[in-house]
Structure 1
Amino acid sequence: MGTKNPFKDQSHSLTKKILPWALYALLPLALLRLYFYPLPQFKALPGEAPQNKPNIITSSSSQEGESFNEIPCDYTNGKWVRDKAGPLYNGSSCGTIKDGQNCISHGRPDMGYLYWRWQPKQCKLPRFKPATFFQLIKNKHLAFVGDSMARNQLESLLCLLATASSPELVYHGDDNKFRRWYFPPYNVSVSIYWSPFLVKGIEKSNSGPNHNRLYLNSVDERWASDMGQMDMIVLSVGHWFLHPAVYFEEDSVLGCHYCPGLNYTEIGFYSVLRKAIQTTLEAITEKRGNKAIHVIVTTFSPSHFEGDWDKAAACPKKKPFEEGEKLLEGMDAEIRSLEVEEVEAAKAKATQFSGLRLETLDITKLSLMRPDGHPGPYMYPFPFANGVTERVQNDCVHWCLPGPIDTWNEIMLEVMKRWEAQARRGG
């Protein structure tokens, strides 16, 4: 008789006891794996890596019959984190940057401001993909309308797109205030329309009154007259409303802002800015006719002056504020809130109009947290070439290019992808 192998019997017994418990332990792990990393349900856009996490808005080419997976993300809350990759372009790779925002060519010595990315709390913000943008805007005209912040955002977008296709300047007029570029491979036009109030206004001048004149019941026809050519409009205003102004509705004076000696009632500017946005969004709704049009309102971009504008350290910060270090409050919060409120009110009305989409590009908080991203004294070339002076003009309002403002266009692209996803499902 052969002898039994005790290790074989023991192994068999242990297997019967351990196997059920192992299965019980693996089951929740498998469920967690599927929850955080679900199986792909779509293909990525051309030139874009597939995204499988559920908190990223993704879209795909309609020409290939691919599906969409649309999951909204709140991009307004988050923090700036270090990013070794850096920007997609540099100060010399695109010829559209206004000199005052080309901080690299003007000799800004610290480059740390280029290596940060915005990280929302509950999702990921993908890097800008020019191929994706061109696909969504192909055969269309995108118009930026507003003040110098609109121009700043436009130039950021042109530089991002220039990494894939060179823009051709096809129209240039009135001291760079009205320009249009064309991307032949995609039949895409991108324009800038100078309109610092959106409504009809007469800007103050050195030879005339030292205050602006705003007509709040009339939209500015310098851009509105071209609305029939526009497929997408990005509106951006705010800073010009802080200047002295007299306000009109029809032919009656409503009041003024900071107008001593004119014998008008001081009414501030908050209600006026609100009315200007109302008039603008109503005009777009009325004037567009049956044309499909998409509208984005970029919220107020805070400035970061610390003391006098002409001191060497007017905006001295070299890195972003940490989360909670700087609160959104005061004027920045007030302007941002009224802009969001008016867009939401217009969105509620827009549901009855086919082809009209509106959205807020809420960049106020994430911009507030980037005091390091302004040109400062480098709005002029090499301001300290002859030594550090006590007085030097600073720009703590606009943004260096490349810089934090590129994030605005990354978020705008995500809005466009969500719109496309909604359109694909008939929403």
Structure 2
Amino acid sequence: MHEIAKMMKPPSYLFTLLAFILFASIFYGHDFSFIFRPHSNHETQTLFSSPEGNMYKRETKREEEEGCDVFNGRWVRDELTRPLYEEAECPYIQPQLTCQEHGRPEKEYQRWRWQPHGCDLPIFNASLMLEKLRGKRMMFIGDSLNRGQYVSLVCLLHQLIPEHAKSMESFDSLTVFTAKEYNATIEFYWAPFLLESNSDNAVIHRVSDRIVKKGSINTHGRHWKGADIVVFNTYLWWITGSKMKILHGSFDDEVKEIIEMSTEEAYRMALKSMLRWVRLNMDSNKTRVFFTSMSPSHAKYKLWGTILLMYIYGRSIEWGGEPGGNCYNETTPIDDSAYWGSDCKQSIMQVIGEVFRKSEVPITFLNITQLSNYRKDAHTSIYKKQWNSLTREQLANPVSYADCVHWCLPGLPDTWNELLFAKFLYS
């Protein structure tokens, strides 16, 4: 009998495991509910309203099994927890994104929280995030929208770090925030196409005729090696019309071989190059790779030569606004859950779906497009440092120079980082 009782006695490690689970459920109870909270099939439907809605079927299926599609939800007003930091308390925000400093008269855009259907996002825990980054190198790679997300993350974290133990430095295309006590860096690398292009200068990149070099990802990629967490994005700079100019050879060649390719096929080429580079240069057992989808605009595009400009006439009529408007003077989100917009996001989303679906490279997709589509109120609009002096005609008509592409900080990019945090810690 003694032997039987001994055999039936639970092993000692089981008590240790149960004790840890009890502790974690108390300490991180809110975050655990994100994983285990029940949901309905209706609540976990894909958030896309486009025909390409099911192209991330594998990812969506996995999220449903875990308990929630965090990208499918609604915006709720929240004065208790928003904003997550104050603009004046973060010295790292570029003057192109400091809307309060540049005269925005209200703060409504700061008071909205993303609420997924059927669950809650885990509360952003800066201390936990810094611990996860200890001894690591995190890198954002892409264009100015990715830089906005990068700066947002630095703003979310930096207040926990003493002044003497942090620094921000720039080296051409690379910006590095260092948390010295954590032996960690959070970096941004300017590469708007990921591939080599004639727009790669971190300061002087407003060229009128954009050209991308085929098969050139190693030009920038050699600077990305050794990163432990990578967040890619690329979209805005591809939108120059229906065609892109692709260079075969070198930018130094006297006679350049340049062909035109459809924007979708050129974008497909870049994504395939990115995935191939990740497969050859990153250990999936050690490195987490994310790709952030398109950040939408709320302005009508007008093609002038080969330069795509936000022009005087906006798309406000699409969300029930007055004809001829854009994001200027907008102070509330779009409340139509089916709103998608009329630019080329759908065709680009289809390309991403096709390329990622065929790839075996482990990569986490951050689908910020639809939830950002609702935030016509969150753009910098006219409340930013202007690159050039404004004309008398522009000053008389603010709609004509409102920036409906970039986002105020604090604001929408903070939500992108909450989603990144959720996927980084719990997926």
For normalisation by structure 2, the TM-score amounts to: 0.72
Query: 5+ unaligned residues in a row in structure 1: which ranges?
Result: 1-39, 58-69, 253-261, 351-356, 420-427
Q: Percent identity?
A: 26
One-letter identity of the residue aligned with 1:298: T
Question: Whole-Å Cα distance in 2 between the matches of residues 180 and 373 of structure 1?
Answer: 26
Which moves more between the two structures, 358-367 or 115-124? 115-124
Among 402, 407, 410, the residue aligned to 1:399: 407
Deviation at 1:336, TM superposition (A): 2.6
Question: Whole-Å Cα distance in 2 between the matches of residues 207 and 83 of structure 1?
Answer: 38
Which residue number in structure 1 is paired with residue 59 of structure 2? none
Which residue number in structure 2 is paired with residue 13 of structure 1? none
Change in Cα spacing, 1:379 to 1:209, as seen in structure 2 (3 Å) is closer
Deviation at 1:169, TM superposition (A): 2.8
One-letter identity of the residue aligned with 1:365: Q
Among 397, 417, 420, the residue aligned to 1:412: 420
Change in Cα spacing, 1:56 to 1:379, as seen in structure 2 (3 Å) is farther
Which residue number in structure 1 is paired with residue 214 of structure 2? 216
Deviation at 1:94, TM superposition (A): 1.2
Which residue number in structure 1 is paired with residue 225 of structure 2? 228
Deviation at 1:388, TM superposition (A): 6.4
Question: Whole-Å Cα distance in 2 between the matches of residues 182 and 378 of structure 1?
Answer: 29
Question: Whole-Å Cα distance in 2 between the matches of residues 118 and 182 of structure 1?
Answer: 29
Which residue number in structure 1 is paired with residue 245 of structure 2? 246
Q: For residues 13-56 of structure 1, what are the alpha-carbon distances to aligned partners after superposition, in whole Å with 9 as ceiling and x for unaligned?
A: xxxxxxxxxxxxxxxxxxxxxxxxxxx95544998554453646
Q: How does 1:193-212 map to 2 (within 5 A)?
A: 193-203=189-199, 210-212=208-210
Change in Cα spacing, 1:120 to 1:144, as seen in structure 2 (3 Å) is same
Q: How does 1:13-412 map to 2 (within 5 A)?
A: 41-44=21-24, 50-51=30-31, 53=33, 55=35, 71-85=66-80, 86-165=82-161, 168-169=166-167, 171-174=169-172, 177-203=173-199, 210-222=208-220, 224-243=221-240, 245-249=244-248, 266-288=260-282, 292-305=286-299, 309=311, 314-316=326-328, 317-324=330-337, 326-327=339-340, 330-346=343-359, 349-350=360-361, 357-380=362-385, 389-391=396-398, 393-412=401-420
Higher Rg: 1
Conserved? CA contact 2:247–2:257, under 8 Å: no
Deviation at 1:142, TM superposition (A): 0.3
Conserved? CA contact 1:179–1:193, under 8 Å: yes
Question: Whole-Å Cα distance in 1 between the matches of residues 28 and 206 of structure 2?
Answer: 53
Change in Cα spacing, 1:322 to 1:243, as seen in structure 2 (3 Å) is same
Deviation at 1:418, TM superposition (A): 2.3
Q: Secondary structure at the match of 1:267?
A: strand
Which residue number in structure 2 is paired with residue 256 of structure 1? none
One-letter identity of the residue aligned with 1:284: V
Deviation at 1:226, TM superposition (A): 2.7
Change in Cα spacing, 1:393 to 1:207, as seen in structure 2 (3 Å) is closer
Which residue number in structure 1 is paired with residue 321 of structure 2? none
Q: How many aligned residue pairs are there?
A: 346
Question: Whole-Å Cα distance in 2 between the matches of residues 235 and 115 of structure 1?
Answer: 27
What is the Cα-based RMSD across aligned positions, in Å? 3.5
Q: For residues 379-404 of structure 1, what are the alpha-carbon distances to aligned partners after superposition, in whole Å with 9 as ceiling and x for unaligned?
A: 238x99x9962255221101100001
Deviation at 1:73, TM superposition (A): 2.5
Question: Whole-Å Cα distance in 1 between the matches of residues 124 and 419 of structure 2?
Answer: 9
Question: Whole-Å Cα distance in 2 between the matches of residues 332 and 269 of structure 1?
Answer: 12
Q: Secondary structure at the match of 1:410?
A: helix
Deviation at 1:105, TM superposition (A): 1.2
Question: Whole-Å Cα distance in 2 between the matches of residues 79 and 324 of structure 1?
Answer: 8
